[in-house]
Structure 1
Amino acid sequence: MSDVPTKKDVPIDLNIPDNYVQHTLTTTKPLPPITLSNILNEINWLSFIILTSTPIMGVIGAYYTSLRWETAIWAVVYYFITGLGITAGYHRLWAHRSYNASVPLQYMLAMAGAGSLEGSIKWWSRGHRAHHRYTDTDLDPYNAHRGFFYSHVGWMLVKPRRKPGVADVSDLSKSPVVRWQHRHYLTLILTMGFLLPSAIAWLCWGDAKGGFVYAGVLRLVFVHHSTFCVNSLAHWLGETPFDDKHTPKDHMVTAFATIGEGYHNFHHQFPMDYRNAIKWYQYDPTKWFIWSMQKIGLASHLKVFPENEVRKGQLTMQLKRLRETQESLTWPSNSDDLPVVSFDSFQTQSQKRPLILISGFIHDVSTFIDEHPGGAHLLVKFIGKDATTAFFGGVYDHSNAAHNLLAMKRVGVLHGGHPHILDIAKRVPPSQRLKIARYNELSSNYASSTAWSDGDEEEQGGTVKKLRK
């Protein structure tokens, strides 16, 4: 009796639905739609007050507070410090575990991230992991399909109609730094968000008010919307060089707006890669920061997705676009689509219209005879004859364009003509020697009937084949 497993022997987990997202959406009840009668109860008042009051405070404060050049520089520097707390800390370290950080670096990033007032590490990472797992669905907390405004800031202004999909953050619950930040979050946001930027400006050049307005409040507004652009702009503007199944896109503008998080199509395909930008010239200061931390011993184990697989992703999209271009073009008729004509019939019909035989195909050159670069007389003397040798170098070694144009003028196939053309390249025009084909248009390599054994075949050597190492 054979030990080879049959198809029916392969275990199937009956507890796993065919589509988890659809299963969850159909088995859970959403909150009722927001209307004028319930909108006050459905507003997320804490987020609403923070996100609306800070820009108002910043504008009013700037109107009454002159901007000193020292404070302007400090505001920009602190923008990057607290922004990196989100991009290098919350995002790439804790949400995606794309590198290891030393304990001192973890505390620095946790404090800097708190200065951005975007929630604790645990809360932020839980939502972000759900975003990656359920991208563009109703289980995605900032679903881009609900519109630019919603994915940018709207999802925080009102209570979500559905709870975000399940995401595992048990690793974060075990982190002493994450627990410390979560426990002291209120103190940290007041200190890092407002007290520290004001104190630095006061102690160094006597501008506490300017430090509060510009490096505190207005800086916070810019950090907020920089981060929010990752959820909105990065899903709206740009290209999809790695995958177009979902909305994330790559664009330089988004990268500049988000401290390097703008190559979002790459990021969603390879989320555990510490990089967002893989080209040396692409703007990704978060990547440069993490790399620098590794060089001075504060970071290690920077994860990089295999280059081979990255290039496969790029090639897949390139082939897809080439396929679309290929399908938009008009191609010559194949031999199966053309009438088969005897040589005598070919010569007879050539007396009524200019037909020339090349590579076993009969071509009607009536629309081209007067446009032939070498002159009409070169075509006329081959009407009703085989011009294969002349076309392939006997008279002139024609260009790829000439081969492609000739193929479009096929009107028939000479009976018994193909077997005499030993070189297949003479039958296939250059434009068709490489073509994009879908897997179901290829051979049976992708659907081999021997992939499953019914247990009746003889075992080779009396043993089941082992998996390749």
Structure 2
Amino acid sequence: MTFTTEETSDFDTSMYYIPKPLDLPISTEKQSLSSPQPKMTAAEEEEDFIKNNYVAKTLLAIPELPAITWSNWYTQIDWVKVIVLYSEPFIGIYGVFTTRFVWQTTVFAIVYGLLTGLAITAGYHRLFAHRAYQASLLLRYILVTLGAGAMQGSVKWWARGHRAHHRYTDTDLDPYSAHRGLFHSHIGWLMFISNRNCADTDTADLDNDKTVQWQFKYLTVLNIFMGYIVPVFICGLGWNDYRGGYFFAGALRLFLIHHATFCVNSLAHYLGDAPFDDRHTPRDHFITALVTLGEGYHNFHHEFPSDYRNALEWYQYDPTKWAIWLFEKLGLATNLKRFSKNEIQKGRYGMMQKALNRFGKTIVWPKDNAMLPIISFEEYQELASKDDGRQLILISGFVHDVSNFIDTHPGGRALLKSRIGKDATVAFHGGVQNHSTAAHNTLAMMRVAICKYGGEVEHLKKRLGHDFTPTPILT
């Protein structure tokens, strides 16, 4: 695990996870890191792959569910989840059109929605699923209690599924794999009965957490009490709006929180870019962050999951990160984990390099040196003196055919003509004009040969300070 803690003052270059070197002599002999493997048949290779690949082995051991047809579709649906999830929008919409708006209820619904939402993002997600920080016993009880008010199952169930999602991202063991479509990753995975549990996912820490076990034991009571009774009675006893408390602070709030959380599984794997790694589907986007209380910088999160931040930059929207920071200032949280900046920069560098490589493939480059003939300086002079229409100039050890360029040379035809058959290295590198990078790149496209030993005036180029210019010195 490569992370540092908030208490460490320097995150720029220090890497605290580098091990101490072994006190052993370094061998100067070249060694192969892999031993030769015996040749296998295709069938043996497939068998060996399955034996050593947990995902493939597990999938083979799981019986396939029957295909969904018109005659059996109702047996494949998790009716409890479907009724709960699909009744919420209808109840909420009915309440909007039949219930008067009370500003106190509106404010409370927003505040209570933020609190129960943060209990999921800061509690279920970053604390319990990823252990991105340590929380006091009081804070843990607050988070599991408010989290029950979001009605998203128990901490243990939620975190177990989420750990499986990270461990098996985009495979068939990922509970909400984006490769199975936007609908499946958003809500479909909850609607249909699965024949797979969360595979090999370690939840021993949650089994030993008394706050998690307390919530699991009283989950149904906590769901009803925090999900509906609390908002109804606060709005009712506070300003006599029991109905608004049920429809707005209860049903409509739950509908919005549920789908905001679902967007982390769906939208965050479709919308945005991948500044740290593009091998998997997670993406970073401000809109997703806005919808999910800061969980939208998902590419960063999947690369550095135990970092308490989702948004790396201070200006990126991540209220969950700010809430955890506030918990620390209040003495309720400690050991806020942050990955080393050096490791984060490696991810950025890798993606920038990929982008450069893709861009480079759109460019026509000069011929590789290995594709050019090698001639002596005397042979170059002889070729240049022939009356065959070629105009050959030697610059920096390369022979260039400037026949198609001489008439458009910005410095004039005469200047190039006077260097035909000569070494024009010094003139090109500042003796007459210190040419631009674009001129260097254009000239390189005209290479037709390499001059053995570089030419006659390499020492003059060095005297003018241009010895850094790459020149082939071949023997």
TM-score after normalising by structure 1: 0.86
**8 A Cα contact 1:421 1:427, kept in partner:** no
The 10-residue stretch of structure 1 (267-276 or 158-167) with the greater mean CA deviation from structure 2:
158-167
Contact 1:30 1:162 in 2 (8 A): no
The 8 Å contact of residues 138 and 162 in structure 1, kept in 2 or not, is answered as no
CA distance in 2, matches of 1:211, 1:350: 96
Show the 5 A alignment for 1:15-414.
Answer: 17-341=51-375, 342-349=379-386, 352-414=389-451
Measure the CA separation in 2 of the matches of 1:340 and 1:325.
Answer: 31
Return the alpha-carbon distance in structure 1 between the equivalents of residues 62 and 457 of structure 2. 69
Post-superposition offset of 1:219 = 0.7
Query: 2:419 and 2:33 mapped to 1: Cα distance?
Result: 62
Count residues with an aligned counterpart. 423
Alpha-carbon distance between aligned partners in 2 of 1:60 and 1:418, rounded to the nearest angstrom: 87
Q: Partners of 2:431 and 2:33 in 1: how far apart?
A: 60
Deviation at 1:8, TM superposition (A): 10
Say if 2:428 and 2:435, in contact at 8 Å, map to a contact too.
yes
**CA offset digits 1:53-91 (Å, max 9, x no partner):** 011111011110022222221111111111011000100
Quick check: 1:33–1:161 contact (8 Å CA) kept in 2?
Answer: no
SS of equivalent to 1:323: helix
SS in 1 for 2:70: coil
The equivalent residue for 1:438 is: none
Counterpart amino acid of 1:111? T
Q: d(CA) in 2 for partners of 1:375 and 1:417?
A: 26
Partner SS, residue 406 of structure 2: coil
| Mapped partners of 2:374, 2:387: distance in 1 | 15
Q: Aligned-pair distance for 1:103? A: 1.1
Q: Secondary structure at 1:198's aligned position in 2?
A: helix
Q: Give the CA deviation at 1:419.
A: 8.6
Counterpart Cα distance in 2 of 1:135 and 1:87: 19
Cα distance change of structure 1 residues 383 and 164 upon mapping to structure 2, 3 Å threshold: same
Taking structure 2 as the reference length, what is the TM-score of the superposition? 0.85
What does the per-residue CA deviation read over 1:12-37, in whole Å, with 9 as the maximum and x for residues that have no partner? xx999422111211233222222222
1: CA distance between counterparts of 2:256 and 2:33? Answer: 57
How far, CA to CA, are the matches of 1:134 and 1:408 in structure 2? 48
**Separation (CA, whole Å) in 2 of partners of 1:417 and 1:104:** 76
Corresponding residue number in structure 2 for 1:427: 470
RMSD, aligned α-carbons: 2.4
The question of whether the paired residues in 2 share the 8 Å contact of 1:134 and 1:165 is answered with no
Q: Secondary structure at the match of 1:155?
A: helix
- What is the alpha-carbon distance in structure 1 between the residues aligned to residue 143 and residue 387 of structure 2? 82
Farther off after superposition, 378-387 or 411-420: 411-420
| Cα distance in 2 between the residues matched to 1:299 and 1:350 | 84
Question: What do residues 388-444 of structure 1 show as CA deviations (whole Å, max 9, x unaligned)?
Answer: 111000000011111011001111222443696466643369xxxxxxxxxxxxxxx
The CA distance in 1 between the partners of 2:148 and 2:113, in whole Å, is: 13
Greater Cα offset, 54-63 or 19-28: 19-28
Deviations 1:143-176 (A, max 9, x none): 1100000000000001024333221111111111
**Structure 1 counterpart SS, 2:422:** coil
Structure 1 residues 7, 240: closer, same or farther in 2, change over 3 A?
closer
- Which structure 2 segments of 5+ residues have no match? 1-24, 36-47
Q: What percent of counterpart residues are identical?
A: 51
What's the CA shift for 1:340?
Answer: 2.8
- 2:42 is matched with which residue? none
Return the alpha-carbon distance in structure 1 between the equivalents of residues 386 and 56 of structure 2.
64
Offset of residue 7 of structure 1: 8.1
1:360 CA drift (Å): 1.6
CA distance in 2 between counterparts of 1:172 and 1:297 reads 23
Equivalent residue letter for 2:124: Y
Judged with a 3 Å threshold, the aligned counterparts in structure 2 of structure 1 residues 207 and 360 are, in CA distance, closer, same or farther, namely same
Letter of the 1:397 counterpart: N
Counterpart CA distance in 1 for 2:292 and 2:209 is 27
Q: Which runs of 5+ in 1 are unaligned?
A: 430-469
Matches of 2:82 and 2:61, distance apart in 1: 30
Q: Would the alpha carbon gap of residues 72 and 15 (structure 1) be closer, same or farther in structure 2, given more than 3 Å must change? A: same
User: Contact 1:343–1:415 (CA<8 Å) still a contact in 2?
Assistant: no
Q: Secondary structure at the match of 1:370?
A: helix
Provide the C-alpha distance between the structure 2 equivalents of 1:89 and 1:98, rounded to a whole number of angstroms. Answer: 10
Deviates more, 1:406-415 or 1:389-398: 406-415
Q: Give the partner amino acid of 2:347.
A: G
